[in-house]
Amino acid sequence: MRRFILLTLLASWFFNASCEKVELISDSGGDRSADNYFGGSGGIGDWLVPESEVLKGAGKDAIPALTDPELVRFGEVNYLNGADLVIGLMVDGEPRAYPHRILDWHEIINDRIGSTYFAITYCPLTGSGIVWDQRQLTNASFGVSGLLYNSNLIPYDRSTNSYWSQMKLMCVFGERLGEIAPLLPIVETTWNSWRAMYPDTKVVSNNTGHERPYQYYPYGTYRSTDFLMFPVKPLDRRLPLKERVTGVIVDNAAKVYRLSSFKGGLRVINDTFRGVPLIVAGSETQNMLLIFGRSMPDGTVLTFEPVQDQLPIIMQDNEGTLWDVFGWGIVGPRVGQRLPVTNSFIAYWFAWGAFYPDPVIYTE
């Protein structure tokens, strides 16, 4: 009971921190529409999603995005537990980890490795972590708008003040209307698994310049119940609403895969969705799910089998090449080649059902 009360107070503090005040609009009163957010001007432009369903959850920048965060070596990290989830990224051979413990409180981290600029976007309400390649977005820096669509984060880019739907992967309002946000491949897994695979990793420090109790989750029992803070449409109840599943988007339709399909060590599924050959790799133990394409640029469609106990290598194809968690050929005939990147990520089931209605659920 004491822990519940503490977490409830933390959630309240999160939305009302005096240093960065948040104006939270409740269900019982106030206008939460996007029109009100922009000052009630009306006729401010077209949205690619129903404007009446774009709701205000917090003030603009009240949840502070991070930019060029302080990084530390994994041996210097003292605020993570082994089972904590991280979003892992590899650019030009440099591994970095972005912990959920930080992202729960900041939602967006603008960072770069060399000349590669990217934005880590994470929505705690939909459990969705996605990394946008900013090089194709004129290196735009993103902030937290405070708006939500289907309970999901709407970042805005600071260069044009355009608004983007995280899970639709596109700009839904503003100057860049209709532009697609290209993805960088990520590995979402436990801190134990990530640091074992990449002991030279750098990690975002909890010295962020903001006073936040990163040891606590700011939304109380939200992750473990069916309670939703904001309405979504449609609401698909075929699976538990907060079950974390990985999904892939093809032609604006989605197929999802459950972690429970990957018991007993590392497993792979050679699959096809809407004519696209896919390979899905995962491990319930590692809390990891990955999706790549199987059709190579030379026209070859590969098939795969799992490789156990050799992380970051996870599978071998029918030609003899070994592939790692980022889809790179490590040893064999296709060394140095990369499997096709897919529009795929992990999110709560209810969010997949809301954004891509009636998604296909993989079954044996």
Query: Do 161 and 56 lie in a common domain?
Result: yes
234 occurs within a structural domain? no
pLDDT, residue 364, reads: 86
186-207 b/e with 16+ CB inside 10 Å = b? bbbbbbbbbbebbeebbbbebe
pLDDT, residue 268, reads: 98
Backbone region of residue 160 per phi and psi (left: phi > 0; alpha: psi in -120 to 50; beta: other values) = alpha
217 occurs within a structural domain? no
296 occurs within a structural domain? yes
Which residues have C-beta within 8 Å of that of residue 261, sequence separation ≥ 6?
A: 267, 269, 282, 362, 364
Query: Do 195 and 260 lie in a common domain?
Result: no
Query: pTM of the full predicted structure?
Result: 0.89
Query: Do 165 and 303 lie in a common domain?
Result: no
Write the pLDDT tens digit of every residue in 76-94.
Answer: 999 999 999 999 999 999 9
Share of the chain above pLDDT 70, in %: 88
In the structure encoding, which two tokens stand for residue 210, read together?
A: 């903001």
Which range of residues forms the domain containing residue 160? 2-203
Domains contained in the chain, number: 2
Beta bridge partners of 290: 281
212 occurs within a structural domain? no
Q: Tell me the C-alpha distance between 15 and 217, whole Å.
A: 13
Q: Tell me the C-alpha distance between 94 and 143, whole Å.
A: 25
Query: Do 188 and 259 lie in a common domain?
Result: no
pLDDT, residue 41, reads: 34
Query: Do 182 and 270 lie in a common domain?
Result: no
Write the pLDDT tens digit of every residue in 239-251.
Answer: 999 999 999 999 9
For 257, phi and psi rounded to 5 degrees? -130, 135
Query: Do 290 and 344 lie in a common domain?
Result: yes
Write the pLDDT tens digit of every residue in 103-143.
Answer: 999 999 999 999 999 999 999 999 999 999 988 777 789 99
Q: With bands split at pLDDT 50, 70 and 90, how would you rate the model's confidence at 24?
A: very low
Q: What is the dihedral of CA 329, 202, 245, 214, to 10 degrees?
A: 180
199 occurs within a structural domain? yes
Q: Tell me the C-alpha distance between 153 and 238, whole Å.
A: 24
| Mean pLDDT, range 215-236, rounded to an integer | 97
In the structure encoding, which two tokens stand for residue 186, read together?
A: 């990520």
